[in-house]
Amino acid sequence: MRFIGPSPDVMARMGDKVEARKAAIEAGVRVVPGTDRPITDAKDAKEFVATHGLPVIFKAAYGGGGRGMRVVRNEKELVENFERASSEALSAFGNGAMFIERFIEHPRHIEVQILGDNYGNVVHLYERDCTVQRRHQKIIEIAPSPNLNPVVREKILADAVKLARHVGYQNAGTVEFLLDADGTYYFIEVNARLQVEHTVTEEITGVDLVQKQIRVSEGNSLPNLGLEQKNIKVEGTAIQCRVTTEDPAKGFQPDTGRIETPLNGQVFRSGEGFGIRLDGASAFAGAIISPYYDSLLVKVIAHASSIGSAAAKMNRALREFRVRGVKTNIPFLLNVLENDKFLKTAYDTNFIDTHPELFKFEPSQNRAQKLLYYLANLMVNGPSTVLATKLKPSDIVPAVPPVDKTRGHTVPKGWKHILDNEGPEAFAKAVRNHKGLLLMDTTYRDAHQSLLATRVRTYDLLRISEHVSNHFHPLFSLENWGGATFDVSMRFLHEDPWERLVEMRRLVPNIPFQMLLRGANAVGYTSYPDNVVFKFCELAKQAGMDVFRVFDSLNYLPNILVGMEAAGQAGGVVEGAISYTGDVSDPKRTKYNLDYYVNLSDKLVSAGTHVLCIKDMAGLLKPRAATMLVEALRSRHPDVPIHIHTHDTAGAGVASMLRCAEAGADIVDVAVDSMSGMFLYGRLTGLHFVAHTGHDVGRGPYEAHVVVNDSTREVRPLRQEPIARVYGVHVGLLGDAYDVRYV
């Protein structure tokens, strides 16, 4: 391993401000009057002031970046500022020793980029102007320094090279000077490293400093790298602005948060174009800006033929930035770039402190974001009227299906009776031994999740629940919970999803309830600790849940197994699900082939799943592929019930389900006709084509379906408008059961 940088001896000497000062004096470079050693006692500070007078500046002896710095103009503030600066240095650098020097009023801050090799060669790559500072922290850097007297420039550059040669400097570094109003310059320190602002030097010289550092460390000489002083030229002007997550309206208070996408009301977009370079840190959508690291978001570098052109490019680029979710200093940077004194380079290190107008900001109109919010609201909640009309929308009161209220009437027994009395294993065995095809009705959850963004209210679902209990009792299960239910219930419908489950259980005591569990994610959108998933399943079972369909969108087995174990320990029916993708009927598609699904099914069955599910959430399962897949699974696991879930995206959903039934599937997913078709499910009525084939679903679900379909037809327009607009579905295109008759 090879260290890239100066030798340890040079690092130790140049990294210590006192030692660097001694080296400058030895080399004949003018220095500001200061202490000849680090001091740790305020008494030494008093003695220095007594000799050299005020003002003075305290600097951290073993660090930089503006931390541990204080300017003292009043002797009464001397001790207090020394102690504060020392404490800050100790916290930042682990050493509270201070260096004191006479403070130069109203200077410009000029620094020279140097590069040395292992053979005594040293070159400069010209200077940078770092005068625009706040609290000794550079904000805007310019290369080369504008309006710098050419004679002074040559002297500064020569002294920087002289000092570097004197100490035997190797690799990249920066020699820093203060330039007073009379043209007198003073050495202040050496940064024995590559600095944040090296980018502007790279732009004007065309030299990749990072690459050259590596090449020098490999043993190359500067002449071999083409770096001789006569060959290094300046082309144009470059400006760098540091975009930080600080709020200039609140004293540059660091801001924290997440930069997200427009979907979450936040966004990141950078300004780019010819002559613009971006050196990014955490500048991307989704980045978390924490309080534990530097607030720098991105460095923006503009390169042009003159400082005016470079400033104009920078202005344009910064205005194109869009950062939502956290505050930035961009409004402040724009004020600086548009200030006349900045453009005329008539400034010093007090520029920001003496120009309060830089902190006057126009409130952001945020038009684009407001438009996004409006469109998002329109998509989710729909317009206030369907079309531009003064007519009031007609009131729709969905009809409530009739229910037998006669004394002594009890709901028919369903599969719930077997589950409650004999347990999950016996329940699964009974399902497997059942002659005929069983159905799971998704109307209560996934149907309106896919069609209406899960916006059907508990109120609407409960109104038809008693009828469902009386007439849909042959169903394998009702899917009514999990998935997006929790998120939408709480954030949009302002309902309690637990109350929904309890009330449904009260009205539907005879049909098993089924939910979708996202493995380790439970019903959320992030992974949860295992104990949370286990407790959730326990409470869900107590509230009335029966069948837990457990899946992971990437078929990541550890996530699935956590959910399966949690559901099993809670006493529920475990339905391990395999997410389907690819096409098992296409021999050219070898990644997700039959072997993949069969091998994964082996692991789920070995883990104790009661029911094996194929979850085709994108509607990719073609009829031929359905036959091949189910036959393979049935042959491999003859005693395990197989449950198939698909969507009718391509219009082949019913055909695929019929093929699944013929191949040996025990259960398929459907929805009432008014909530089916297209990106939804196969129609419940479509499955009646298996009548008299040995896979009969029975008359009950069909006869009851016509009544429930009428009710859901009337509920759907209340919730469908926004989703219809999203998917381009005609508002009036509703399912109709009356053209299908049971034979």
Q: How far is CA 591 from CA 493, 583, 588, in A?
A: 41, 10, 9
Which DSSP helix (H) or strand (E) runs through 307? helix 307-320
Residue 190 φ then ψ, to 5°: -120, 130
Residues 560, 551 contacting (CB under 8 angstroms): yes
Residue 722 structure tokens: 């926004």
Distance CA 664, CA 686 (A): 18
Helix (H) or strand (E) holding 289: strand 288-289
Residue in 70, 102, 128, 193 annotated catalytic: 193
Using CA atoms, how far residue 38 sits from 19, 44, 98, 105, 576, in Å, is 9, 10, 5, 23, 69
d(C-alpha 171, C-alpha 10), whole Å: 11
What the block records as the tokens of 245 is: 């997550």
Is 683 a catalytic site residue?
Answer: no
**Rounded CA separation 57/82 (Å):** 9
Residue with tokens 């002559």: 275
Yes or no: say if 398 and 460 are a contact pair by the CB < 8 Å rule. yes
Closest-CA residue to 718 (of 500, 334, 460) = 460
Closest CA to 147 of 189, 108, 105: 108
Q: H/E element holding 300?
A: strand 296-304
Residues contacting residue 572 through CB under 8 Å, at least 6 positions apart: 424, 537, 540, 541, 545, 546, 547, 548
Whether 462 and 503 have beta carbons less than 8 Å apart is answered as yes
Cβ neighbourhood burial of 386 (10 Å; 0-12, 13-18, 19+): middle
What are the residues facing 174 on neighbouring strands? 113, 191
Q: Is the peptide bond before 529 cis (omega within 30 degrees of 0)?
A: no
Cis (ω within 30 of 0) for the bond into 144?
Answer: yes
What are the CA-CA distances from residue 600 to residues 160, 216, 316, 480 (Å)?
Answer: 68, 54, 55, 27
Residue with tokens 């600095």: 195
The whole-angstrom separation of Cα 192 and Cα 5 is 8
Catalytic residues, which ones? 193
